[in-house]
Amino acid sequence: MNYKKTFRFYLALWLAKLSSFALKILKRNATYFPGKVALSICPDFMGRLDKPKTIIGVTGTNGKTTTCNMINDILSQNGFDFINNKYGSNIDGGIATTLISGSTITGKAKKDLAVLELDERSSNKIFPYVTPTYLVCTNLFRDSLMRNAHTEFISNILNKYIPKETIMIENADDIICSHIAEGNKKIYFSIDRLETDTEECRNIIRDGKLCPKCLTPIKYEYVRYHHIGKAYCPNCDYKCPKPDYHITNLDLKNMQMTLKFKDGEEVYDIINDNIINIYNMLAAIVVLKQLKLTQKQINDSFGKLKIVETRYTEESYKNYKIVTQLSKGMNPIACSMAFNYTRNEKGNKAVIVVLDDIHEEAKGMENTSWHYDTDYELLNDESIKQIILPGPRYMDSYIRCLMADIPREKMVHKKDIIEATSELKLDGIDKIFILHDLYAIEQAKQIKQKVKEIIDEYENK
Amino acid sequence: MKIEILYPEFCDINSDMGNVRYLKKCLPEAEFIETSINDVPAFIGEEEISLVYMGTLSEHSQEIVIQKLKPYKEKIEEAIEKNQLFLFTGNSVEVLGKYIEDEERKIEALGIFDVYAKRDMLHRHNSYFLGKYEDIAILGYKSQFTMLYGDNSNGYFATVDLGIGINEKSKLEGIRKNNFLATYIIGPILILNPLFTKKLLSLMGVKEPKLAFEEEVLESYNIKLKKFKTFTNFEK
């Protein structure tokens, strides 16, 4: 649709810019409100605003923020001048705010490039007005059932609203994500079979169990986790696509990976050994290669990156390693992957799980059902010597752990986070994992401080 | 004792399979039959089934299930009349209603119950639920795109103290006819409601039912009940 700049558009733009200026003077975040102002005055504002010539969008259930952060940091380090929503919201108001910040007073785009993290649930409010040149879809899993319902619902929204002109960059190992926007031009990425892959799914949930074409149960050459792997329908042609870019040699010992593509092979250093972050790196590399960055440019920049502290930290404290890891509440896959990472880490571990999703209650609703889609069974492992379950969800998590056959004597469950953490036992422990929700970062910091105090006391005995 | 799970490949989208896993803990000796979408339900045949369970479906899956169950409409009606015990959670009851309205489309369902559903895919309803099944306090969560319409005053699952019934104006939740029980509450309702679960086990023929982790689930139930009651006061 050909949108024109009307008086209402200019009014929306100027008031948005004014509100952004005022918020900055007041030292408040101007990452959502200005865009919201513009959209409330002119609902199709984003359609009327001039946009950068090249727009990179990143959507999907998990890994959007990390992938975007990687792309943003590498582009910045290589001198690219672009706009992004790194510090802003990924829904319509946030996207509008970012575009406004990158526009002149007459609504012209100041930059030629934008990198936008896009909430998949908000596609209906963004894609009618913003056409990404490339759109990465990292994966599609079940997320908050209150907001995102189920993968079929999210797939339907994406299929309905993604513009036909957009070139999709999709995860070929995800049979749901790789079939989004079927008519569009596509670039697929994949990680070849790994030693840790299995014949059967070991997780308690797996979406896309039946072929959508013929209702035959989907089979797998191998399963990595949940529905990620090499899937195919034994009765028709529905299957995971052949990748354009794939990792052929994932060498976690030397923290390197080999990327194979039509024109050659390249080796990259790995910045984090979590498979989720390796997928995120892969998605970022594929995007950056479309922007003609060289292997050297990308890899040199990777060497300077680390996963942001709200998502993952590790600190050696006296004789112990303390790890904090985001386990996004309401998101059973993210939590299961965090549990799996914890389980697979070497050494004996104590795990403090503070999945405090109770912030939803403040919005008038909560739903604890997702705990039963989350693989607490992964915490039932010989190497995990103690599990501490603090916070308002202590009973929900405790019962879920009982359902996972975790022995009662291994667990501490108490509402008060400090009181619960006080019961940490360090005998024979090498590592302490604090798995926390995005909204429990402050609690995680308090827990970490308490853990250090306990270590101090223990070491001074 | 045999428990049949209808279409687990479809009906696990809202953590409803937590109920099945809990039943397995409560009844370790029971046989669980998982009926796939291309199979004939066991309760349709001659098998004696103590409980038939079906969980929440996606909208597309509802249409597939309607087509698969249509040939068995009379058998299902007969089973309900003969007091076969069913527990349907989430939107699964809609496949047994008259039809489902989806914008311009009207999807004919089995027509066993004189109710119909309306979808609104732009608005997801989320709410707490507190009510009573007979004299047992039932609590839980609802998350749904549909509302059910029709008169369920002669056959409802629970009265409502907090939240909504079959639609936003209704104070009667779910459908009940003989031993057919259906509620829009999603997720692990049996873990959240130990007193109801004991009642269900009794209906299945378990004498002096004992729950898995009974002490802990009762403690959790009482904490939640207290909390939900404060919301009831707030709503009033």
Q: What is the pLDDT of residues A228-238, one digit of tens each?
A: 999 999 999 99
Count structural domains, chain A: 2
d(CA A92, CA A122): 7
- Identify whether A454 is part of a domain: yes
A71 and A136 assigned to the same domain: yes
Q: Which pLDDT score is estimated for A398?
A: 98
| pLDDT tens digits along B90-128 | 999 999 999 999 988 999 999 999 999 999 999 999 999
pLDDT of the residue at A307 = 74
Has residue A361 got a pLDDT over 80?
A: no
Per-residue pLDDT of A425-454, as tens digits, reads 999 999 999 999 988 889 999 999 999 999
Amino acid at A442: E
A358 band by pLDDT with thresholds 50, 70 and 90: low
Residue A52 and residue A89 in one domain: yes
Asked if A12 and A131 sit in the same domain, the reply is yes
User: Measured between alpha carbons, how far is B90 from B148 in angstroms, rounded to an integer?
Assistant: 11
State the pLDDT confidence band at A11, using cuts at 50, 70 and 90. very high
The DSSP H or E segment spanning A419 is helix A417-421
Question: Domains in chain B, ordered, with CATH?
Answer: 2-235 (3.40.50.880)
Residue A377 and residue A443 in one domain? yes
The whole-angstrom distance between A402's CA and the closest CA on chain B is 8
pLDDT in tens, A379-414: 999 999 999 999 988 999 999 999 999 999 999 999
Distance (Å) from the C-alpha of residue A405 to the closest C-alpha of chain B? 10
Report chain A residues touching chain B, CB-CB < 8 A.
Answer: 142, 145-147, 149-150, 152-153, 204-205, 207, 209-210, 215, 217, 332, 365-373, 395-396, 398-399, 402-403
- DSSP per-residue string spanning A57-85: EEESSSSHHHHHHHHHHHHHHTT---EE-
> How far apart are alpha carbons A373 and A380 in whole angstroms?
16
**Cβ separation B58–A153 shorter than 8 A:** yes
Q: Is residue A323 part of a domain?
A: yes
Per-chain mean pLDDT for chain B: 96
Closest to A111 in 3D by CA, of A133, A134, A80: A80
- Band (pLDDT 50/70/90 cuts) for residue B89 is very high
Domain interval for residue A410:
312-460
Q: CATH code at A420?
A: 3.90.190.20
Confidence of residue A365 (pLDDT cuts 50, 70, 90): confident
**pLDDT of A363 strictly over 90:** no
Instruction: Indicate if the pLDDT at residue A247 is higher than 90.
Output: yes
Please state, as a whole number, how many other Cβ atoms lie within 10 Å of the Cβ of residue B202. 12
d(CA B120, CA B102): 7
Residue A240 lies in a domain: no
CB A338 within 8 A of CB A170: no
Weakest-pLDDT range from A180-189, A282-291, A364-373, B31-40: A364-373
Q: Tell me what pLDDT residue A27 has.
A: 83
- Residue B61: pLDDT band with limits 50, 70, 90: very high
How does DSSP assign B168-230, residue by residue? Answer: TT--EESEEETTEEEE--BS-HHHH-HHHHHHHHHHTT-SS---TTHHHHHHHHHHHHHHHHH
Structure tokens at B168: 């936003």
Burial of A416 per CB tally in 10 Å (0-12, 13-18, 19+): exposed
**pLDDT attached to residue B233:** 65
Mean pLDDT, chain A, integer: 95
Helix axis angle, B214-235 to B194-203, nearest 10°? 120
CA distance A355 to A339: 12
Could you say which of A255, A281, A302 is where a domain stops?
A302
Choosing from A302, A324, A357, the residue where a domain stops is A302
Residue A30's pLDDT is what?
A: 82
| Residue numbers in A near B212 (CB within 8 A) | 402-403
If you ran DSSP here, which 8-state letter would residue A330 be given?
T
Q: Are residues A66 and A104 in the same domain?
A: yes
Mean pLDDT, residues B162-172:
97
CATH number at residue A119: 3.40.1190.10
> pLDDT value at position A189?
98
Same domain, yes or no: A412 and A294: no
pLDDT at residue A357 is higher than 80? no
The predicted structure's pLDDT at residue A440: 85
Q: Which of A3, A8, A151, A129 is nearest to A57 (CA)?
A: A129
CB atoms closer than 10 angstroms to residue A91: 18
| CB pair distance less than 8 Å for B64 and A396 | no
The yes-or-no verdict on residue B236 having pLDDT over 60 is no
% of chain B residues with pLDDT over 90: 94
For residue B65, the chain A residue with the least C-alpha distance is A215
pLDDT higher than 60, residue B234: no
- Quick one: tokens of B188? 């692990």
Asked if residue A317 and residue A298 are part of one domain, the reply reads no
Give the pLDDT mean for B25-33: 97
From the list A146, A210, A370, the residue facing B124 with the nearest CB is A146
Residue A399 lies in a domain: yes
Record: contact B126-A369, CB cut-off 8 A: no
A45-80 pLDDT, tens digit each = 999 999 999 999 999 999 999 999 999 999 999 999
Q: How far is CA A282 from CA A78, A217, A260, B38, in A?
A: 18, 29, 11, 39
Q: For the sheet containing A320-326, what is the strand order?
A: A312-317, A320-326, A431-436, A349-354, A384-390, A411-414
Distance from B15 to chain A by nearest Cα, in Å?
Answer: 5
Q: Domain for residue A452, yes or no?
A: yes
A31: confidence class by pLDDT, cuts 50, 70, 90: confident
Per-residue model confidence (pLDDT) at position A439: 83
Instruction: Read off the pLDDT of each residue in A112-116 and give the average, rounded to a whole number.
Output: 98
Give the pair of three-digit tokens for residue A431: 């590592």
**Count of beta carbons in the 10 Å neighbourhood of residue A346:** 8
Position A52 scores a pLDDT of: 98
Instruction: Kindly report the pTM of this predicted structure.
Output: 0.94
Token pair of B30 as six digits? 């029971």
Distance separating alpha carbons of residues A346 and A398, to the nearest angstrom: 25
Q: How far apart are CA A114 and CA A99, in angstroms?
A: 8
Q: Which of B15, B183, B222 best probes binding to A when mutated, by most A CB atoms within 10 angstroms?
A: B15
Residue A264 lies inside a defined structural domain of this protein: no
Distance, in Å, from the CA atom of B152 to the CA atom of A196, rounded to the nearest integer, reads: 53
pLDDT exceeds cutoff 60 at B235: no
The residue with greater pLDDT, B50 or A3, is B50
Contact B213 A403 (CB under 8 A): yes
Tell me what pLDDT residue A329 has.
85
Specify the 3-state DSSP secondary structure of A45. helix
A21-25, A88-92, A309-313, A329-333: least confidently modelled range: A309-313
Whether A175 and A318 share a structural domain:
no
Segment among A312-316, B73-77, B130-134 with least mean pLDDT: A312-316
Kindly state whether residues A112 and A154 are assigned to the same domain. yes
- Residue at A244 is within a domain: no
Distance (Å, whole) CA A357 – CA A440: 8
Residue A359 to chain B, least CA–CA distance (Å): 15
Residue with tokens 């995971």: A240
Is the CB of A395 less than 8 angstroms away from the CB of B216? yes
Q: Do A402 and B220 touch (CB under 8 A)?
A: no
Strand partners, A250: A257
Q: How far is B205 from chain A (nearest CA, A)?
A: 24
Burial of A3 (0-12, 13-18, 19+ CB in 10 A): middle
Indicate whether A298 and A372 sit together in one domain: no
A42, two tokens: 């002119």
Q: What is the pLDDT of residues A190-210, one digit of tens each?
A: 999 999 999 999 999 999 999
Per DSSP, A212 falls in state T
Kindly state whether residues A297 and A326 are assigned to the same domain: no
**In a shared domain, residues A354 and A297:** no
CB A194 within 8 A of CB A273: no
B115-119: strand order across its sheet: B105-108, B99-102, B115-119, B146-150
Is A259 within the bounds of a domain? Answer: no
Q: Which of A200, A188, A133, A141 is nearest to A162 (CA)?
A: A133
Contact: A215, B64; criterion CB under 8 Å? yes
pLDDT of B171 > 90? The answer is yes
